[in-house]
Structure 1
């Protein structure tokens, strides 16, 4: 009898796990969304700072873009599981953003306008590439009701 109950529980829980995981994916906004919103705000401020040659602001904000927070471990695991074999590509875009934002900080410290613009363009390019590859599917998977 215990074997039957255990086997039944296993079968039911295995069948429900994907649905429950999908429901959990949609239950609350990802911390990643908040991180992206903060980066968007910082990038917009940097845009204005470049136009005004406000190197101090860029020196303050570029490291925030380079070393943005990571989502909590549980969320990070959900995202990586969702990405599957594309996880390396996702991490690669993040690494490009990190390196370009560091170059932006270096250029701003030297008041190098052309260098700052070039580095900022690389940050924007890596953000855009990541968004074009992942944003739509993330929104669909984690936020839209199916």
Structure 2
């Protein structure tokens, strides 16, 4: 995300277009870990997946806007991406880290 922020600030649309798909298709854990996480999420798995989908869609839109050199649309899509990331992190990060990584 820091690299995208820097690229946006420089209006480096080709770099934004290159980086956006990496956000949209961010790495997923191995299947065994994914199953543990989904079991832990329980009824919240749908909300979690929904937020992940929002990040994917917004980052994809950001990349498409960057390909068009549409700075306003890039910034709007970046904002949606950030909002979705933040919503997920605020909902799950602390309890996730506590459950899977201890009290780091």
Structure 1 or 2, whichever has the larger Rg, is 1
Local SS of the residue matching 2:58: helix
Q: Which runs of 4+ in 1 moved over 2 A?
A: none
Q: Trace 1:91-106 onto structure 2 (pairs within 5 A).
A: 91-106=49-64
- CA shift, 1:69, in A, is 2.0
Q: 1:87 aligns with which of 38, 42, 45?
A: 45
TM-score (norm 2): 0.96
Unaligned runs of 5+ in 2: none
- CA shift, 1:139, in A, is 1.0
How many residues matched? 103
* Pair 1:128 & 2:80 matched: no
Q: Trace 1:1-146 onto structure 2 (pairs within 5 A).
A: 43-144=1-102
Taking only aligned residues, the RMSD between alpha carbons, in angstroms, comes to 0.8
What does the per-residue CA deviation read over 1:117-137, in whole Å, with 9 as the maximum and x for residues that have no partner?
000000000000000000010
Distance of 1:137 and 1:70 partners within structure 2: 19
Unaligned runs of 5+ in 1: 1-42
Local SS of the residue matching 2:60: helix
TM-score (norm 1): 0.69
What does the per-residue CA deviation read over 1:31-88, in whole Å, with 9 as the maximum and x for residues that have no partner?
xxxxxxxxxxxx1000010010001111111011111121100000000010000001
Distance of 1:142 and 1:115 partners within structure 2: 37
